Structure 1
Amino acid sequence: MKAVLIRGHGGPERVEVGELPLPEPGPGEVRVRVRAAALNHLDLWVRKGWSGLMLSFPHVLGSDVAGVVDAVGPGVDEPKVGAEVVLAPGLSCGRCVRCRSGEENLCRGYAILGEHVSGGQAEAVVVPARNALPLPPNLSFEEAAAVPLTFLTAWHALVARARVRPGETVLVHAAGSGVGVAAVQIAKLHGARVIATAGSDAKLERARALGADEVVNYEAKDFVQEVKRLTQRRGVDVVFEHVGRKTWEGSILACAPGGRIVTVGATTGYDPPTDLRHVFYRQLSILGSTMGTSGELLEVLRFVGEGRLRPVVDRVLPLARVREAQALLADRAQFGKIVLTP
């Protein structure tokens, strides 16, 4: 089969489309013929590598996958061959206390498809049967592939960790990114007022179309001052933070007393300075969040199926143009998700 793979860490030149043996499902597993696989910033980080990331090369990229089950391993009753599915990208042991309590993203053995194990930017991928969820009937494969990682991440962060409530004000950074697109919609679904930031007016208009109440171009204006203006100097109740160094200090200053900052990533750097005086004096909560549970993803897919959450596909490219796709993502030249098709 053809697959997007790396044979070592480094720059864009490390990414290639190569040939690998077609995988066979083992006990409790299914093989999915991939119809669409979306990119995430995670693909860029895995390509570059970091201390502690131990991979077996060649490594296949890709966390977000939709396709059709074409083979099942021993002991699998569901899904059946021919089922159209979208894959839950989180992998866990299924046996520990965390897993049995429905908190599999806190499992000590938790892994993400395409990060810790080979992923789905390929013609086929093998996963545990429990990770193959029914594809909502109103979605194309490309739209379905744009859902799992980013919508699950935003849902868990805003709903489970920050516990956003109706009437609160939520600041969503980089609203044109895959996770930003999800966060704007999820905050609105839960009755919040949303202030969205992005680096271009075109992206901000699209964020407004998704439900953002107010928008701020952080390349043209000081987003902290704009937040203060838009909230009559009060600040926001929740900051959805995934940018890191570039926005972190401002995110703290943009919070109202008693506000919550939930962080799911750090695309511009993971080591920003933090003035703790603002944290303890104004009694801010800083919450970390990674991925979510399969139950939460099922809930997300229900809302997507009802049309109350909408995946946004920026463009669809063939697998062979993966380097171009990664370059667009690195330059933040997209709004929503870039999707590859075999």
Structure 2
Amino acid sequence: MKKIFYCLTAALAMAFASCSDWTEPEAKQMTRYNNTEIAKTETYYKALRDWKKTKHSITFGWYGGWSDPAASTANMLSGIPDSMDVVSLWDGATNLSEGKRKDLEFVQKVKGTKIVMCSFTKWVGDGVTPAEYNESTEKRHEFWGWKDGDQESKEAAVRKYAQAFLDTIAKYNYDGFDIDYEPHYGYGGELASSQDLMKVFILEFAKELGPMSPNPEKLLIVDGEPEFLHTELGPYLSYFVIQAYRESESGLDGRLNKGINKFKSVLDEETITNRYVMTENLESAMDCLAGGYTFRKRDGRAASYKSLEGFARWQPLNGYLKGGCGGYHFDGEAANTPAYKWMRNAIQVMNPAVIK
């Protein structure tokens, strides 16, 4: 979807002949070109980047199966919808080949899409401990400096762990970090199940990422169960990404109200709403290709559209701009015809293109 792009002044009269080229809805272009990336004009890409800097509800998604460049962009970041705002890498975020580095740079610099690294953080070292130290809990603790019964050593280990991620983010120039925090859904552990240590962990990231850092354009995201964090951490987070899988319209209302009640002492209601992103589970190939599941409106009736579109249509009852919507493993829709047709539709529903 190409959003609010304008031919503004007489000084741009020479560009008028090409305006239709960059205001044509992206979905129409991709119907023709399917899943092979096409070279679009710099006028189009600049308008796309400029639009992403405006205040709007974002489109977010977890992306898996990132591969090296090929004739088809089906497994490349370049092939995802241009108007995606934030993509969280579910896997393959380290040891990048030159081809993947160029793919990453293209979507960041040309399309203006923010690409963040994602990881579970059940225990200190989860996801980044060198293999030779990851054979046992004892060896892992030794590597990170964690000592049971010694709170000071634990906090130092947590900070060292956060810095390991920050080093990787800096190495590949990612746009931030997405902490998959689900302590009550099978992903608890010595770190994730400790609110106090999670506070140390997040505050270490917040020195370089998030709205309270010197680099607020670098995102610090918590997905899953942010309502179980210490309340005072709210202002440090760029987005609260909620796994509102198979929720109804009233269910989404409830998820937002839970966040408002949790963080209202440290953030105003509008800011909380602006940072709340509701996501659907698209891991099932069949449901992903169909646009999600049955979606029920506030009156309990089934909508005529599936849940991904329902999440895009949902508007908070308080009247404030929602953070956005998105999906887990939306990459499964690369195989759709046209590619990503339901995600593109959700983007258009949430942020309708204005063609001028």
TM normalised by structure 1 equals 0.31
Q: Give 1 or 2 for the bigger CA radius of gyration.
A: 2
Q: Return the structure number with greater strand share.
A: 1
Q: Which structure carries more helix by proportion?
A: 2
